[in-house]
A = this chain, B = another copy of it.
Amino acid sequence: MLRQHEVAERIKQYILQNRLGPGDPLPTEAELCDAVGASRSSVREAIKTLTALDIVEVRHGHGTYVGRLSLAALVESLTFRGLLSRADDLRVLSELVEVRQTIEQGLAGPIVAAFDESLRRELLDLADQMAERAARGESFVEQDREFHLLLMEPLGNELITQLTAAFWDVHAIVARTLEVSPESVRETVDAHHAIVRAAAAGDVAAFTRAVEAHYAPVKRRLQEGRGPGGAHA
C-alpha cells in the first residue's frame, strides 16, 4: 500500500527527472499505475491534487499533460477565504487591497523607469475608456484589469505579473457585490489618469500618490463595514 502523498510526489519527480515542461504529455493513468505501483483510484486522486495546483492538466479522452504552473490555486484558495470572511467582516479583502497597493507602490521606481511612449498611449486609452464607460454607468472591469497588468509587464517579471493578475481576480470576485458610490467611481477613474500622468512625467513620488488615491475609495468603503449592497448572495 502506498500513502496518497507518495503517489503525487512520484508523479512530480517523474516530471522533474524527465525535464518535462508545460504541455508535455504524461503517461496514461494505466501506465502511471504501473510506474508508481498503485491502483487507478489512488493515481486519479493524486492527479486531482496536482491538477488543483496546475502542475498537471487533464484533457478528457485525450490524456494527461504537464500543467501551466499558473497561480490558479492561489486564486481559488484566496477567493474562498475572502468569501468565507465576507459575511462577517471584509478583513481579507481589506488586507488584499493593502497588498495590491504595496506592490504597486513598491515598484513605483522600476515602473516609471521602464515607462515609454507606447505604453503611455495604451494606458491612456484604457483610462479614457474607463471614463467613458463610467459616464454611461457601465462597468469597466476589463479595462481596469488590463491597466494594472500592462503597468507591470514592462518589468519583465512574470511572477509579479501573475501575482498582480491573481490578486486582481480575487479582489474582483470577493468584492463583486460591494456597492460603490458615483463619487468613488469618478475618483477611481481619475486616479488611473493620474497614474499615467505621473509615470509619463517620470515623477515617482506623484506616481506613489496616484496609486494611493486609486485605492483610497475602496479602503474608505471597506472601513465603513458592510453597508448597503454588502450582503452576500
A5 to chain B, nearest CB (A): 10
- When distances are taken between beta carbons in the complex, the residues of chain B under 8 Å from A119 are none
- Of A25-33, A70-78, A132-140, the one with at least 4 CB within 8 A of chain B: A70-78
Q: Given known contacts A159-B96, A163-B99, is B106 in contact with A16 (CB within 8 Å)?
A: no
- Of A80-88, A197-205, A215-223, the one with at least 4 CB within 8 A of chain B: A80-88
Q: Given known contacts A48-B48, A53-B77, A71-B74, is B19 in contact with A95 (CB within 8 Å)?
A: no
- When distances are taken between beta carbons in the complex, the residues of chain B under 8 Å from A71 are 74, 77-78
A161 to chain B, nearest CB (A): 9
Whether A81 lies near B69 (C-beta < 8 A) is yes
Does A129 reach chain B (CB closer than 8 Å)?
A: no
Q: What 0/1 readout, one digit per residue, does chain A (52-79) give for beta carbons within 8 Å of chain B? A: 1111000000000000011101101110
Does A15 reach chain B (CB closer than 8 Å)?
A: yes
* Interface of chain A, main secondary structure: helix
Does A160 reach chain B (CB closer than 8 Å)?
A: yes
Does A98 reach chain B (CB closer than 8 Å)?
A: yes
> Interface size of A by Cβ–Cβ distance < 8 Å?
47
Whether A76 lies near B99 (C-beta < 8 A) is no
Interchain CA distance A11-B84 in the complex, whole Å: 13
Output the nearest chain B residue to A232 by Cβ-Cβ distance: B16
Output the nearest chain B residue to A86 by Cβ-Cβ distance: B16
Does A105 reach chain B (CB closer than 8 Å)?
A: yes
Interchain CA distance A91-B4 in the complex, whole Å: 31
Interchain CA distance A160-B53 in the complex, whole Å: 21
Output the nearest chain B residue to A15 by Cβ-Cβ distance: B84
Contact of A106 among B70, B78, B105 (CB under 8 A): B105
Q: Residue among A44, A70, A83, A159 with the most chain B CB within 10 A?
A: A159
Whether A158 lies near B84 (C-beta < 8 A) is no
Q: What 0/1 readout, one digit per residue, does chain A (95-114) give for beta carbons within 8 Å of chain B? A: 11011001101110000000
Whether A95 lies near B53 (C-beta < 8 A) is no
The 4 closest A-B pairs by CB, nearest first: A106-B106, A52-B52, A73-B73, A95-B159
Sampled A-B contacts (12; CB under 8 Å)? A46-B48, A49-B52, A52-B52, A53-B76, A54-B77, A69-B81, A91-B158, A95-B159, A98-B157, A102-B106, A103-B103, A106-B107
